[in-house]
Structure 1
Amino acid sequence: MRKHSPAALGALAVAVLMTVVGCSSPNSPNTKKSAQSDGYDPGYTCSKTSCPTTLTAGLAGGQSTFVRNFNPFSPTATSGTFFMYEPLWMFNILKQGEFIPWLADKPAWSEDGKKITIKLNQDATWSDGSSVTAEDLVFTLEALKKDPELQKFEYVAAKAVDAKTAEITFAGPAYTLESTIGGVSIVPKKIWESQDLKKWTNPEPVVSGPYKLGQFSSQQVVLQARADYWKQKVPVPQIKIPILGQAEEQKLMSGELEWSGGAIANVKKVYVDKDPEHNHAWYPSYGSLNVYFNPARKPFDNPSVRKGLSLAIDGDQVMKIVTQDLSYSISPTGMDQKTQGKWIAPQYKDLPFGKANVDGALAELAKAGFSKRGEELVGPDGKQLTVDLPENAEYKDAIQRDQIIAEQWKKIGVKTNVRPVPGTQLDALKKSADLDVNVGGAVYGANPWSYYNDILSSKNAGAWANYGSWKDPETDALLKKLSETGDQAEQLAVVGELQKIMVEKVPSFPLASIGASAEYNSKQWVGWPNEENPYAMPPPWAAGDNLRVVLSLKPNPDTYGS
Structure 2
Amino acid sequence: MSLQLRRRSAAALLAGAAALGMLATGCSSGGSGGSGDPSTLIAYTGQAGDYQINFNPFSPTRIGALGTIYESLFFYNKAEVTEPVPLLGTEQAWNEDGTELSVTLREGVEWSDGEAFTADDVAFTFGMIKANPAINNGGFDGEVVAVDDTHVTFTFAAPAFVKGPDFMSTPIVPEHLWKDVNPAEDVNEEPVGTGAYLLDDFKPQAFTYKANPDYWGGEPAVKQIRFLALSGNQAGADAIAAGTIDWQTGPIPDVQNTNENFPNYNAYTQWQNQMVLSTCSSAEQGCEGPQTDPAVRRALYYAMDRTQLNSLAFMDTASEMSPTFALTPSQDEYVGASVTEPKVPMEPNLTEAASILEGAGWAKGDDGIYAKDGERLSLTVEVVTGWTDYITAVDTIASQAKEAGIEVKAAQSSWNEWTEKKGSGTFQLAIDSLWQGPAPDPYYVYNYFFTTGVPVGETAGNNYSRYANPVVDDAIAQLALLSPDDPARQAQFDAIHTEIVRDMPFIPILTGGTTSVWNTAKFTGWPSDDDLYAFPAVWSAWDAAEIFKHLEPAS
Q: Same fold (TM over 0.5)?
A: yes
Deviations 1:243-292 (A, max 9, x none): 4355444323211111123x2253516955421x3222333122211223
Which residue of the other structure, out of 418, 433, 442, is the alignment partner of 1:441? 433
Report the counterpart of residue 325 of structure 1 in structure 2: 316
**Paired residue secondary structure (2:182):** coil
Correspondent of 1:155 among 127, 141, 145: 141
> Contact conserved, 1:376 with 1:384, CA < 8 A, in 2?
no
Tell which deviates more after alignment, 73-82 or 234-243: 73-82
Equivalent of residue 450 in structure 1, options 431, 434, 444: 444
Per the alignment, residue 25 of structure 2 pairs with none
Q: Which stretches in structure 2 are left out of the alignment for 5+ residues?
A: 1-35
What's the offset of the Cα at 1:80?
4.9
Q: Deviations over 1:34-78 (max 9, x none)?
A: xxxxxxxxxxxxxxxx992211122471232553x4332233434
d(CA) in 1 for partners of 2:199, 2:469: 44
1:485 alignment partner, one of 464, 482, 492: 482
Closer, same or farther: CA 414–252 of 1 in aligned 2, 3 Å: same
Contact 1:312–1:361 at 8 Å: present in 2 too?
yes
| Number of aligned positions between the proteins | 505
Residue 241 (structure 1) aligns with: 227
Give the match for residue 494 of structure 1: 492
Give the structure 2 partner of residue 419 of structure 1.
411
Whether 1:274 and 2:274 are equivalent positions in the alignment is no
Residues 83 and 357 (structure 1), Cα distance of their counterparts in 2 relative to 1, 3 Å cut? same
- Report the CA distance between 1:138 and its aligned residue: 0.4
- Structure 1 residues 114-125: aligned runs within 5 Å: 114-125=99-110
CA–CA distance in 1 between the matches of 2:204 and 2:376?
Answer: 48
How far off its partner does 1:460 sit?
A: 6.4
- Counterpart CA distance in 2 for 1:304 and 1:279 is 46
After superposition, the Cα gap between the structure-2 partners of 1:222 and 1:51, relative to the gap in structure 1 and judged at 3 Å, is closer
Residue among 251, 262, 266 paired with 2:239: 251
Give SS of 1:107's match: strand
Residues 155-304 of structure 1 aligned to structure 2 (within 5 Å): 155-246=141-232, 247-261=235-249, 263-264=250-251, 266=253, 268=255, 272-275=259-262, 277-293=263-279, 294-296=281-283, 297=288, 299-304=290-295
Q: Distance in 2 between matches of 1:530 and 1:196?
A: 41
Q: What per-residue deviation string (whole Å, max 9, x for no partner) do you get for residues 505-525 of structure 1?
A: 222222111344422111110
Q: Note the C-alpha offset of 1:390.
A: 2.3
Q: Measured at CA, do residues 390 and 270 of structure 1 come closer, stay the same or move farther in structure 2, by a change above 3 Å?
A: farther
Residue 24 of structure 1 is matched in structure 2 by none
Distance 1:98 1:330, change over 3 A: farther
Q: Are the equivalent residues in 2 in contact too, given 1:438–1:468 (CA < 8 A)? A: no
SS at match of 1:61: strand
Distance 1:89 1:83 in 2: 13
Q: For the residues of structure 1 that align with 2:463 and 2:330, how far apart are their CA atoms?
A: 22
**Runs of 5+ consecutive residues of structure 1 not aligned to the other structure:** 1-49
Q: What is the deviation of 1:367?
A: 1.1
Name the residue aligned to 1:132. Answer: 117
Does the CA-based 8 Å contact 1:279-1:520 persist in structure 2?
A: yes
1:511 aligned onto 2:509:
yes
Q: Is the Cα contact below 8 Å between 2:514 and 2:537 reproduced in 1?
A: yes
Alpha carbons 2:319, 2:513 under 8 Å: kept = no
Provide the TM-score with structure 1 as the length reference: 0.82
Corresponding residue number in structure 2 for 1:42: none
Amino acid at match of 1:553: L
2:70 paired with 1:85:
yes
1:264 alignment partner AA: P
- The whole-number CA distance in structure 2 between the counterparts of 1:203 and 1:379 is 49
CA distance in 2, matches of 1:487, 1:392: 37
Letter of the structure 2 residue corresponding to residue 495 of structure 1:
F
| SS of residue paired to 1:105 | strand
Shift, 1:531, TM fit: 3.9
What is the alpha-carbon distance in structure 1 between the residues aligned to residue 203 and residue 292 of structure 2? 47
TM-superposed deviation, 1:463: 3.6
Please say if 1:358 is aligned against 2:345: no
Please state how far the C-alpha of 1:382 moved relative to its aligned partner: 6.8
Alpha-carbon contact 2:282-2:292 (below 8 Å) kept = yes
Q: Which amino acid aligns with 1:474?
A: V
3-state SS of 1:281 partner: strand
Q: Which residue of 2 aligns with 1:36?
A: none
Deviates more, 1:122-131 or 1:202-211: 122-131
Residue identity matched to 1:257:
I
Q: Distance in 2 between matches of 1:546 and 1:245?
A: 22
* 8 Å CA contact retained: 2:423, 2:461: no
Is 1:155–1:168's contact at 8 Å kept on the other side of the alignment?
Answer: no
Spell out, residue by residue over 1:337-358, the C-alpha distance to the aligned partner (whole angstroms, 9 max, x if none). Answer: 1233333334338634222222
Measured in 2, the distance between the counterparts of 1:434 and 1:146 equals 26
- Aligned-pair identity in percent equals 26
Q: What does 1:376-387 align with in structure 2 at a 5 Å threshold?
A: 376-381=368-373, 384-387=376-379
Structure 1 position 128, deviation (Å): 4.2
Distance (whole Å) between structure 1 residues aligned to residue 92 and residue 81 of structure 2: 19
What is aligned with 1:465?
A: 462
**Residues 68-107 of structure 1: pairs in structure 2 closer than 5 A:** 69-80=54-65, 82-96=67-81, 99-107=84-92
